Amino acid sequence: MASNTSFLADKIIVCEDDPILRTNISSALEIEGYHVYQAANGLEAKQLLMAKRVALIVSDWAMPVLDGLELLNFAKSDARFSHIPFIFLTAKTTIEDKLTALGLMADDYITKPFSLQELVFKCRNGIENRKQIITANLINDVESTFDSRDQKFLAQIKGFIQKNITNDELALADFASEFPMSISSIQKNIKRICGQSLFKLIIDMRLQKAKNMIESDAAPISEVLVHCGFSNHNHFTKKFKDTYGILPSKLSKSNKAGEN
């Protein structure tokens, strides 16, 4: 069983007044490596939200003290928390109830009874999709809050990665040879600016290029690997599936056409 005490684990609030169901949900998420904070009502969840840095909220609707709809409204109306994915887990099944929740910016809506595996998948997808948005913003050079020096430095790093993206032997030492600073300083600056390691930035740029090539059917997947600097097919497939939640072959237009 995976530990739920890792400092690096993504944090999830599970808000449910039924203690047995709350424990079952929490256990299923902890097995997947998440750190779970449990709340018996919306007020407890609200207090956790203000005290902890969380990646996702799973909440029941009907609860004492503060219900799930009030919790949702609080989270989505506060700029500190509005970006956090919010999944409703409720016995309310009417379309009117669902539209009410979605109208208040709920990210997903699961009705009881439900599959724990489905919930785990949706939690994972919600967290990973949010991370991909952040990564895409970095890779595609969208507007950022970086100062001009940071923007220039990041552009130079990404330009060097793009220039060497086909090189499957690109190493951290190569950056130290290209830039007038130690690899340690380069990595610290990338971590400060991007919130991720230089190695992760390289992998993300390789995967983004591979995804673009596969979606446009620019080349067979075996050639995409070469163009994007992956020397091992199994390693590439695993990284791609972990990042995008789909096998590269399932994304290929030619493969889809063959299935039709």
Q: Which is more confident, 46 or 129?
A: 46
Show me where the domains of the chain are located: 11-135, 143-259
Tell me which fold the domain 11-135 belongs to: Rossmann fold (3.40.50)
Residue 258 pLDDT > 50: no
- Asked if residue 180 has a cis previous peptide bond (ω within 30° of 0), the answer is no
Class of domain 143-259: mainly alpha
Q: How far, CA to CA in Å, does 260 sit from each of 215, 218, 253, 257? A: 17, 20, 11, 5
CA distance linking residue 193 with residue 153, whole number of Å = 10
With 50 as the cut, is the pLDDT of residue 4 above it? Answer: no
Q: Is 131 exposed, middle or buried (0-12, 13-18, 19+ CB in 10 A)?
A: middle
What is the average pLDDT value for the chain, to the nearest integer?
Answer: 85
Angle at alpha carbon of residue 72, lines to 23 and 194, rounded to 5°: 90
pTM exceeding the 0.75 threshold for the entire prediction: no
Residue 192 has pLDDT above 90, yes or no: no
Per-residue pLDDT of 150-190, as tens digits, reads 888 888 999 999 999 999 888 888 888 888 888 888 998 88
